[in-house]
Structure 1
Amino acid sequence: MKKRILWTYLVLAILLIGTCYFAITHGASKIAFSHLTQNNLNILFNIRLPRIISALVAGAALSVSGTYFQAALRNPIASPGIMGISSAANLFQTLALFCLPALFVGKFILAIVGGLIALLFLFEFQKQMDPYRLIIVGVALNAVFSGIQTVVAPNASSVSLATSTWQTTLYLSVLGLIGIIISLVLSQWGNYLKVDDEELQSLGLKPAKIRVILLLLAVILASVTTACVGVLAFIGIIVPQIGRFLVGHDYQDLISFSLFGGAWFLLFVDTLGRTINSPNEISAGVLLAIIGGPFMIAILLKAGKKRHA
């Protein structure tokens, strides 16, 4: 197993380096390092590099966030992107443009507030239903918050990876990396939640406290990311599930895989979207939906077969 994990990270490292190089040199125009002009340098440093860094950090943050959602809710398809967390954060960061237009950090504060409000709704419904019904509630919340945004701010300019600037990239990198470091430190907590609450309590641990802390961390990661690059659903489902297949179910390995795998996967999807039909772009959110929808259905079918086995 250890050998398999090492090979997994070696392949990931090669993919990361190769995709970063391709993303830097390809786009609406190709850039050759042997023939750098002033215009090419401007495209490279002010357009492509912020977008690449944002994709790497956002992919890592959303994948780790999804992994902790699945651990805390004991549900393989739990993710902030489909359970209303990201859409609520997006709604509130849009409201920040009207309430706190002069305060750039205000969008991050309100995005986190929005994510926490959605989490409170999920907490309330969690007491009354099983994990899979909770997903349905999350999808409904996602639709409600998205609908409210359409009504309240139909003409508001949406953020995405394509709108990345050095300012948003810097905020995302600092806040995202702090959250990711904390996630790595707390990764063992995900293993605790595999055990029944009664057994954890007998060991002197507080499962409710562990669950709340991990969910708060996941919400903050997702909300900050959403404030910078918009709603990107399904990545928090796809990457952790692939990670379970490649590195196993130990959360110390799984969080590390989600970090690197998510960074590469979002950069790959974004690069594919902006180069496959250049100079036109397909947003990363659209491609993730195309990939993630069937992926989620496959997980549900597999879970259904296990239940009836």
Structure 2
Amino acid sequence: MSVTDTPVAPDAVLVRRPARVRVLWLLVLAAVLIAVMTASLAFGSRAVAWSDVWAALGGAEATLEEAAVAKRIPRALLAVVVGAALGLSGAVMQGVTRNPLADPGILGVNMGASLAVVTGIAHFGLASASGYIWTAMLGAALTAAFVYSVGSLGRGGPTPLKLALAGAAISAALASLVSAVVLPRNDISDTFRLWQIGGVGGASYDQLGSVLPFLGAGFVICLAAARALNSLALGDDLAAGLGERVALVRAGAALGAVVLCGASTAVAGPIVFVGLVVPHTCRLLVGVDHRWLLPFSALGGATLLTAADVLGRIVARPAEVDVGILTAIIGAPFFIHIVRRQKVRSL
């Protein structure tokens, strides 16, 4: 039997990093996340002393500063879970499509979820938190399928650039439709602003409680697909030769990514580029093994979004810049860099 006829374990051909290096980066990233979460509690329209932060974490709300910190706790937690969901979903989308440009924002998935929620609120009386989430997931799934279908047309199938162009065009069209729904409804325009820009302001424990089961399910589905995504990275034919049910694996992983995108958009709006920037950066740190890349992308997404939220509160104090604007400012140059790379055809 020739070498080409012998099945190769999917992990054997992956770019590896020493385990100690991966563990070291894991500890560094966890420490940075803890630091930015602490900063998220300390900084805002009213800066508070570190002693007030520790007191509020212990449940104290006796002073105005401690009460301010207590109100920031759910915001920090929402930024963490939404950032983790977006980072993980981006890594999974890139693995499923073998497309280095895949990202929930670039492919229009988040904007499709936003349009579904806005339409439901404006025309169908959508009001419950669970209704937002189910509607957003439906909109995300339909948009993902439509973008993939459009990007698959023509010669060469769904190439990275075709998918990115299709996603950008469809995302722009969906954003226009969101504006068309919002503009005539001045009575609820403030409510709709979240689904136009994206942000984590006004977070509450009720929001967290409603979205965590969905995000938890999405995390489990995506992380369970890590080894299968390593096989898909070798190509569909070789993955099938290794015993993977390619269509089932791709559909299952995509479902997990859509659940994460839809649920996070339902509570925070269409935050873009987190799912693009974070997986690419994490590959530089831990390699391309999805068993490491996926959890690192979740941790990196949580760190990036929380840091962007803190920065947005500092640069415009006492007002704030929505986190969706800052991630767009950070991610747009990164996207241009990836497009200009010579080896952008596939991962």
Counterpart CA distance in 2 for 1:38 and 1:124 is 56
**Change in 2 beyond 3 A, CA 1:305/1:260:** closer
Which residue in the other structure is 2:48 paired with?
A: 31
Matching of residue 122 in structure 1 with residue 147 in structure 2: yes
Larger displacement relative to structure 2 (229-238 or 204-213):
204-213
**Is the 1:54–1:172 Cα contact (8 Å) retained in structure 2?**
no
Partner of 1:204: helix, strand, or coil?
coil
Structure 1 residue 102, shift from structure 2 partner: 4.0
Matching of residue 58 in structure 1 with residue 97 in structure 2: no
Matching of residue 274 in structure 1 with residue 298 in structure 2: no
Give CA-to-partner distance per residue, 1:148-185, whole Å, 9 cap, x none: 11111224322221132222122233321332133222
Q: Which structure: larger Rg?
A: 2
Counterpart CA distance in 1 for 2:178 and 2:266 is 14
Ranges of 4+ aligned residues in structure 1 off by more than 4 Å: none
Which letter does structure 1 place at the counterpart of 2:289?
D
Larger displacement relative to structure 2 (185-194 or 101-110):
101-110
Partner of 2:201: helix, strand, or coil?
helix
Counterpart CA distance in 1 for 2:219 and 2:63 is 36
Counterpart CA distance in 1 for 2:315 and 2:30 is 23
Partner of 1:162: helix, strand, or coil?
coil
Structure 1 residue 126, shift from structure 2 partner: 4.2
Identity %: 31
Counterpart CA distance in 2 for 1:84 and 1:199 is 30
Which residue in the other structure is 1:226 paired with?
A: 265
Give CA-to-partner distance per residue, 1:64-90, whole Å, 9 cap, x none: 000011011111110111111100101
Which residue in the other structure is 2:294 paired with?
A: 255
Which residue in the other structure is 2:283 paired with?
A: 244
Which residue in the other structure is 1:70 paired with?
A: 94
Question: Which structure 2 residues correspond to residues 265-304 of structure 1 after superposition, within 5 A?
Answer: 265-302=304-341, 304=342
Counterpart CA distance in 2 for 1:100 and 1:107 is 11
Which residue in the other structure is 1:10 paired with?
A: 27
**Is the 2:225–2:249 Cα contact (8 Å) retained in structure 1?**
no
Give CA-to-partner distance per residue, 1:236-276, whole Å, 9 cap, x none: 00000001000000000000101111111110111111123
Which residue in the other structure is 2:104 paired with?
A: 80
Which letter does structure 1 place at the counterpart of 2:77?
I
Show structure 2 runs of 5+ residues with no match: 1-17, 56-61
Which letter does structure 2 place at the counterpart of 1:26?
F
TM-score using structure 2 length: 0.83
**Change in 2 beyond 3 A, CA 1:189/1:204:** closer
Which residue in the other structure is 1:137 paired with?
A: 166
Partner of 1:114: helix, strand, or coil?
helix
Larger displacement relative to structure 2 (19-28 or 65-74):
19-28
**Is the 1:54–1:173 Cα contact (8 Å) retained in structure 2?**
no
Matching of residue 201 in structure 1 with residue 240 in structure 2: yes
Structure 1 residue 284, shift from structure 2 partner: 1.1
Larger displacement relative to structure 2 (37-46 or 69-78):
37-46
**Is the 2:273–2:328 Cα contact (8 Å) retained in structure 1?**
yes
Matching of residue 109 in structure 1 with residue 134 in structure 2: yes
Matching of residue 174 in structure 1 with residue 213 in structure 2: yes
Which residue in the other structure is 2:4 paired with?
A: none
Counterpart CA distance in 1 for 2:245 and 2:235 is 11
Larger displacement relative to structure 2 (199-208 or 33-42):
33-42
Counterpart CA distance in 1 for 2:343 and 2:144 is 30
Partner of 2:104: helix, strand, or coil?
coil
Larger displacement relative to structure 2 (32-41 or 230-239):
32-41
**Is the 1:81–1:87 Cα contact (8 Å) retained in structure 2?**
yes
**Change in 2 beyond 3 A, CA 1:94/1:201:** same
**Change in 2 beyond 3 A, CA 1:258/1:4:** same
**Is the 1:57–1:172 Cα contact (8 Å) retained in structure 2?**
no
Counterpart CA distance in 2 for 1:287 and 1:152 is 25
Show structure 1 runs of 5+ residues with no match: none
Counterpart CA distance in 1 for 2:262 and 2:311 is 25
Structure 1 residue 33, shift from structure 2 partner: 5.1
Counterpart CA distance in 2 for 1:2 and 1:162 is 38
